[in-house]
Amino acid sequence: MISPEPARFPHANVAPDNLPGWDPRWSRLVDVDTVDGPRTFHVLDNAAVLADHGYGPDDVDAIIIAVHGNPTWSYLWRGVAQAGVDAAQGNLDLGPGAPKAPVIRVIAPDQLDMGFSERLAHDALPSASGPTTTYRTLDQRIRDLDALLTVVLGNQPKPPVFSLGHDWGGVVSLGWAADDQLRQAGSGLTPAGMISLNTAVWHDEADPIPAPLQAALAGPLLPGSTVLTPAFLDTTLALGHPPLDKTTKAAYKAPYVPRDRRGGIGGFVADIPAQDTHRSRPALRRVADNLATTPTPALLLWGAKDPVFLDRYQHDLLERIQHIDIHRYNTAGHLLAEDRDIVESIFGWIRQQLDGRRDRAPDQSATTGSVAVGAYTPLWEYLNRWSDSPTKALVDMTVTDRRGKPFEVSWAKLSAIVNAMAIGLRNAGMRPGDRVAMLVEPGRDLTAALYAVLRVGGVAVVTDAGLGIDGMTRAIRSAAPSWIIGQTPGLTLARTTNLPGKRLSVHTMDPLARRALGLSGSLYSFATEYNGQQYQATATHPDPDPSAEAAVLFTSGSTGPAKGVRYTHQKLSALTQRLQDTLSVAPGSSLLAGFAPFALLGPAIGATSVTPKMSVTKPATLTATALADAAIAGDATMVFASPAALHNVVDTAHALTGEHRAALEKISMLLSAGAPVPVQLMNDVLELVPHAEFHSPYGMTESLLISDIDHHTQHAIADQPDRGVCVGKPLDVVRVAMAPLDALGRPADEIFEGEEAVGKLSEIVISTPHMLEGYDKLYNTNRQTRVDDVDGLQWHRTGDIGHFDAEGRLWIEGRTYHIVTPPTGALGPGGPEDDIQRLDEVRRVAIVGVGPVGTQAVVAVVEPTDSSLKPGLAPTELADAVRAATDVELAAVLITDTVPVDIRHNSKINRPVLAEWASHVLAGGKVTHR
Whole-angstrom CA distances from 575 to 207, 447, 549, 572, 581 are 43, 17, 15, 5, 10
CB 667 within 8 A of CB 631: yes
Answer yes or no: are the C-beta atoms of 341 and 79 closer than 8 Å.
Answer: yes
DSSP state of 464: -
Residue 164 and residue 212 share a domain:
yes
Which residues, in sequence order, are bridge partners of residue 820? 827
Separation of CA 315 from chain center: 17
Q: Dump pLDDT digits (tens) for 101-158.
A: 999 999 999 999 999 999 988 766 666 555 444 688 999 999 999 999 999 998 877 8
Residue 192 lies inside a defined structural domain of this protein: yes
Measuring CA to CA, which residue among 505, 504, 499 is closest to residue 481? 499
Q: How many CB atoms lie within 10 A of CB 56?
A: 11
Co-location of 846 and 911 in the same domain:
yes
DSSP 447: H
Task: Please say whether the beta carbons of 77 and 84 come within 8 A.
Answer: no
Is 166 inside a domain boundary?
A: yes
- Distance (Å, rounded) from C-alpha 450 to C-alpha 899? 37
CB 213 within 8 A of CB 269: yes
Please name which of 121, 113, 116, 186 lies closest in space to residue 148, comparing C-alpha atoms: 186
The predicted structure's pLDDT at residue 436: 98
For residue 102, what is the DSSP state?
A: P
Q: Are both 473 and 539 inside the same structural domain?
A: yes
Strands 483-486 and 502-505: parallel
Strands 872-873 and 786-790: unpaired
- Tell me the CATH number at 737: 2.30.38.10
Domain final position from 520, 545, 570: 570
What pairs with residue 33 in β-bridges?
Answer: 38
Strands 519-522, 502-505: parallel, antiparallel or unpaired by DSSP?
Answer: parallel
Residues 248 and 324 in one domain: yes
Position 361 scores a pLDDT of 38
What pLDDT is attached to residue 867?
87
Residue 702 lies in a domain: no
Q: Is residue 74 part of a domain?
A: yes
CA angle 229, 234, 236 (to 5 degrees): 125
* Number of compact structural domains in the chain: 4
Q: Within this chain, do residues 806 and 835 fall inside the same structural domain, yes or no?
A: no
**Rounded (5°) CA angle 737-742-746:** 75
Domain identity same for 209 and 85: yes
Q: Residue 467 maps to which CATH number?
A: 3.40.50.980
In terms of Cα–Cα distance, which of 306, 315, 363, 354 is closest to 334? 306
Q: Distances from the Cα of 219 to the Cαs of 227, 545, 800, in angstroms? A: 14, 53, 56
Same domain? 91 vs 215: yes
Final residue of a domain: which of 570, 596, 625?
570
Reduced to 3 states (helix: H, G, I; strand: E, B; else coil), residue 739 is strand
How many other CB atoms sit within 10 Å of the CB of residue 460? Answer: 25
The verdict on residue 711 lying in a domain is no
Nearest to 622 by CA among 910, 909, 906: 906
Question: Same structural domain for residues 812 and 825?
Answer: no
The pLDDT value given to residue 838? 87
pTM over 0.75: yes
Residue 92 lies in a domain: yes
Cβ-contact 223, 266 below 8 angstroms = yes
- Which of 570, 601, 618 terminates a domain? The answer is 570
**433 and 499 housed in the same domain:** yes
Q: Look at residue 363 and tell me if it is in a domain.
A: no
Number of C-beta neighbours around residue 134 at 10 A: 15
- The helix (H) or strand (E) run that includes residue 801 is strand 793-804
Residue among 37, 19, 39, 38 nearest 27 (CA): 19
What is the residue range of 489's domain?
382-570
CATH number at residue 889: 3.30.300.30
In a domain, 565, yes or no: yes
Q: Give yes or no: residues 229 and 275 share one domain.
A: yes
Sheet architecture: strand order including 392-400: 406-410, 392-400, 608-611, 590-593, 638-640, 669-671, 693-695
Q: Which residues of the chain have pLDDT under 50?
A: 1-11, 131-133, 358-372, 903-906
Are 803 and 832 members of one domain?
no
CATH (domain of 343): 3.40.50.1820
Do residues 302 and 328 make contact, with C-beta atoms less than 8 angstroms apart? yes
- Same domain as 830, residue 804: no
